[in-house]
Structure 1
């Protein structure tokens, strides 16, 4: 059956009443955002748009033609006006006179800044000449799956002619750059009535002299290709038909939760990697298909796909009819090693004298029959986007192989893009990774004051965070707040009762499914109770011990299991209490449970050290702000114990401290960050008191 997406109509979202009062650059942004809002039109970060606009030169006041074109990086669907470069057209045309030939085309990128209009700081992209030299006011360059399926077919040129006639032309594969811009210019000169061109193994160019006309033409051409594929593929089994049956959704996620930490450990030698799991219908159809292995080995075609998914994926040896995960795990190290060897051989075959050094030789994409697809990258957004790009590649392979024969980029061409010196320069300009980049933290009590402050501290340093709590409403509010500031990619929530063994295991499975594993555990879930010992019920005693001692044991045990599978070490941070070291009146259950936490941490530090798992303790005291344990009876009980009213209790705690300062959640978060980061790489079994000074709690 054809992909359902290929038979759905593209929606014309142009609103003339909205666009009517816009300037031409504003219409360009409007058009770009509309096109980028539908992933059938172009993938994230893929393609670009442009408009040639008459504007006043700020230098001499004369009216000049200016090319507005999407700049280097960014995404047409979400970009703003500052995402466009602006360049003098007369200077871009003058570049033709200094071009020394295809062997020197990369040096033309260095000349583009000399064409900048109005001191625009946005760097021009490698595709700028392709837009500049099309003699139309508006140009769209998109990467629709349906068009790339044509572009990646063995008889791409004939299919283009069959589907579009003379309306859309065709150009053979050429790496993006200045030379391709000249090819496109030459095509337009020889074919003045053409409305666009298909670039082999690349994508689609369309053009018009009006912004709306260009947008609607782009939709029309893509829709024509989608309709044609829908007709051609009716009744045809995709990818040679299914040879595997998918496991149930729960079983798929269970298998992925076991595989992802193991793979993550194997591929994180150069830096911590973050995972993403995809098991949508498109992926499952592909991984279960007869021709999957053959097609996967061919790699992707479109340069944007290839740069984000590597030369080819790794197909995991797993039989969903006999789902033996232990056997698969046993075979994985050899499979990963063989992939590295194959990638290294590819590099050695294709490298040139000036090629950059070999990069990470591990696969990005992992295909698992009956289960789905796993992708790993340096951060969550990149891992997710890599998966999206491979879904694009799957759609391309489906279409091309159904009507012709799919072909990936030739190996040398693929290498020359992957190790392009211009791409290398872009990589070198990337900012230095933050201190917790690629790390994954699970924070219990994550919706409370200390938990949410700690999560935010980690997010600020580049970590991904799973917030675990039993309060769904507070979890939702905390996650919405953090996601709005640090992106929804890096924040997840899970309802977890730390005293429920099964709930703890499910939470860690979710962390594995969402991010690939765990590097940091912050054990912070808490309660508090206060009563004289003769009034302390067994239920009160057991509740304290279950949550503050047994709960800390259960989450630590789960963390140790996952960290040992990853073989990457890790950090466990217990948020205990001053009361674990210094007894308080009328709080025997709470103080005893907190003392148990501290001693458990010492025991775990001994066990974890050989595996590089560090276990340390932060002891707060009197953190009233945002703390959930102070919102119930504990506040009233402690106030009563010290003969204070509720308002006077914080003053009491501050004044009894040696430093006479209040302790805030952010103060605890700072200590929790220290113990999670490499700043404390040589510290384990330690306690840091964050209590503004209490002599009774001195550890020695």
Structure 2
């Protein structure tokens, strides 16, 4: 195995003979194993792209006789994480018999529904449009992948000739055609005309390879892609200048990130004119090589070739005409330069739609760009959620790799505009979009909740994440934050949250955390001021240090965090929400509470002042007043609980029951209750509400607003 592992330089040999031996005799299990290995190497195929299949004999549940069945990756899903439930299983003879009813390429789409008449396993995944591409080929195991190295050749002007010469005629060639039943027939025709070939290159699209066993197919796939990659490497090395050489130099890494963090909210605002978007930024070296090059202006407008790339990155990127040393902190000046670029892009996209649409085409979709290139700085991508935005960036890097390879061996060619439109606005793609789950209430929103490594703050962050938001959790306690990060990673995954140390009394850490939000997600929509502490002492024992600490954390902290959040919201121009977690104590006078109670009262009035000032920006400011939320709270872990127990003449252990009994509803208040109240304000039903206070205290009559 060692020799095979080291034999491949451009792809990863991951086959484990011992593991495969355990699966011997189960062709479907070997298909899953092979698929997962292929999907684990992004040089072989893109996330969610490609499909694999196997054909084997199985007992027909109706006749009891052995029949040939094809298991193929179903619609959607990803090879790297594919499971048996992600496969479609079809009778091979029935699938091939559909040629008897095929009415020609003009009626291509009607064949998809007929796949249902070929289903062998009624519990299997819905068959994808690529099903006939596997079905009409006779091989037991087939891989259809989108490796950059192969697509670079497939997208080259001389791709057919290069393929013929590179593989001495052992790889066939089929010109670009939209995937479907007819393309399956074209693959069979290519094989019939070229018996003995080991694979087929699809013009501008990808690669088909096969074998009689799962291992043979795997090795054939690796060998073909390795040879393509070697050929590209040789030519790139001999070519000298990549993309015509560098036109500009990149900023130093730290400056790139600073500039991207400042600019991201502005770009997000423009990209969110149709629906609120989540952003992603990368300054990957492959991106910088492309966007800094002399050929950028020629290649970028051409768009991508592979349909998988195109569907996720749109017809072409938007290139910013900002100089690398532009002062992007002058927001108005930057907007004056950027706004016409977005107007021109939307006009271009509308004209593309109008020129290419058919009588039955779906309505035009969002006309904003997905990919935005800033020479010298990096690439921004925007989409409906973080994962989609991140994957769009990955796919555009794939497209850059393809352009680089194609230019090194020939001249890059992209999909013709009409063909690209026919993919983007394909009725089958539209039907897939219509079947997608309805967005959650906070989809496309980004929330920063202070003090969110535990207690109320963590409950709010979880509630918002569960409702579709991206969240930035933070705390001044590093150990507590690490525990929260592990919990959020396990529960939500890396695309839903980011984490940062934040001290609300330190403006530097506040701005750093908002930069994190801008770089990771593109900006901010919801700020929740939740960080707090409590000190309960009689007047004579209260120190000046106690007083300053309370006012620094509760009042100054709320002020500084709100100020930083509002700055980003104004850049976006899409409004926003500020929620302040205050307290019943802002309204109720009690013993041993001069510092804490007065600071809470200041927080409450600061909320009103901010609401009055920020309404013109469509930024809503509202307050949630909890009382006695003891669960998972650092406040109640120390002297505060002892102080309150002493003030009320009970023990610390008796406090939860004491607080519950004094409420009208006789209820203990939990962090989740406060989280639900916050969601009420931002979930869409109270979009015209600002300056309000919602008490979540079980009913404390003295805290009624009057």
Q: TM-score, normalised by structure 1?
A: 0.98
CA contact (8 A) 1:572 1:676 kept: no
Q: Which runs of 4+ in 1 moved over 4 A?
A: 321-325
User: Does residue 242 in structure 1 map to residue 243 in structure 2?
Assistant: no
- The corresponding residue for 2:69 is 66
Shift of 1:486: 2.0
Could you tell me which of 24, 32, 45 is aligned with 1:42?
45
Aligned length: 695
User: Does residue 357 in structure 1 map to residue 358 in structure 2?
Assistant: no
What pairs with 1:603-614 in structure 2 (closer than 5 Å)? 603-614=609-620
Counterpart Cα distance in 2 of 1:297 and 1:381: 25
- The corresponding residue for 1:396 is 402
Query: More displaced, 447-456 or 643-652?
Result: 643-652
- The corresponding residue for 2:563 is 557
User: Does residue 273 in structure 1 map to residue 274 in structure 2?
Assistant: no
Counterpart Cα distance in 2 of 1:425 and 1:352: 16
CA contact (8 A) 1:445 1:525 kept: yes
Could you tell me which of 599, 602, 612 is aligned with 2:605?
599
- The corresponding residue for 2:551 is 545
Shift of 1:399: 0.5
Shift of 1:167: 1.7
Query: More displaced, 607-616 or 303-312?
Result: 607-616
Inter-CA distance 457–322: structure 2 relative to 1 (3 Å threshold): closer
CA contact (8 A) 2:32 2:84 kept: yes
Query: More displaced, 378-387 or 643-652?
Result: 643-652
User: Does residue 311 in structure 1 map to residue 312 in structure 2?
Assistant: no
Q: TM-score, normalised by structure 2?
A: 0.97
Could you tell me which of 295, 298, 304 is aligned with 1:300?
304
Could you tell me which of 190, 193, 209 is aligned with 2:193?
190
- The corresponding residue for 1:15 is 16
Shift of 1:303: 0.3
Could you tell me which of 508, 515, 518 is aligned with 1:509?
515
What pairs with 1:92-107 in structure 2 (closer than 5 Å)? 92-107=95-110
> Deviation per CA, 1:18-66, whole angstroms, max 9, x where unpaired?
1223211111011000000010000001100000011111122111111
> Deviation per CA, 1:297-344, whole angstroms, max 9, x where unpaired?
110000000000000000011222555553443211110111000000
Shift of 1:527: 0.6
The 3-state SS of whatever aligns with 1:77 is helix
CA contact (8 A) 1:7 1:226 kept: no
User: Does residue 341 in structure 1 map to residue 347 in structure 2?
Assistant: yes
Inter-CA distance 646–324: structure 2 relative to 1 (3 Å threshold): closer
- The corresponding residue for 2:452 is 446
- Show structure 2 runs of 5+ residues with no match: 1-6
- The corresponding residue for 1:91 is 94
Counterpart Cα distance in 1 of 2:620 and 2:43: 47
CA contact (8 A) 1:7 1:227 kept: no
Inter-CA distance 690–114: structure 2 relative to 1 (3 Å threshold): same
Counterpart Cα distance in 2 of 1:293 and 1:512: 27
Could you tell me which of 457, 462, 473 is aligned with 1:456?
462
Counterpart Cα distance in 2 of 1:428 and 1:507: 37
Counterpart Cα distance in 2 of 1:547 and 1:370: 40
Shift of 1:480: 2.1
Query: More displaced, 290-299 or 14-23?
Result: 14-23
Counterpart Cα distance in 1 of 2:690 and 2:323: 42
Counterpart Cα distance in 2 of 1:421 and 1:140: 26
Shift of 1:476: 2.0
Could you tell me which of 76, 79, 85 is aligned with 2:79?
76
- Show structure 1 runs of 5+ residues with no match: 1-5
Shift of 1:269: 2.3
> Deviation per CA, 1:625-679, whole angstroms, max 9, x where unpaired?
0111112221222222222222111111111222111000000000011112211
User: Does residue 387 in structure 1 map to residue 388 in structure 2?
Assistant: no
CA contact (8 A) 1:259 1:329 kept: no
Counterpart Cα distance in 2 of 1:549 and 1:86: 63
CA contact (8 A) 2:403 2:412 kept: yes
Counterpart Cα distance in 1 of 2:300 and 2:321: 14
- The corresponding residue for 2:418 is 412
> Deviation per CA, 1:411-439, whole angstroms, max 9, x where unpaired?
11111111111111111111111111100
Counterpart Cα distance in 2 of 1:84 and 1:583: 65
Query: More displaced, 546-555 or 499-508?
Result: 499-508
Counterpart Cα distance in 2 of 1:333 and 1:474: 43
- Cα-Cα RMSD: 1.3
- The corresponding residue for 2:134 is 131
User: Does residue 662 in structure 1 map to residue 663 in structure 2?
Assistant: no
Could you tell me which of 349, 371, 374 is aligned with 2:377?
371
CA contact (8 A) 2:259 2:328 kept: no
Shift of 1:564: 1.2
CA contact (8 A) 2:669 2:696 kept: yes
Shift of 1:121: 4.0
CA contact (8 A) 2:172 2:191 kept: no
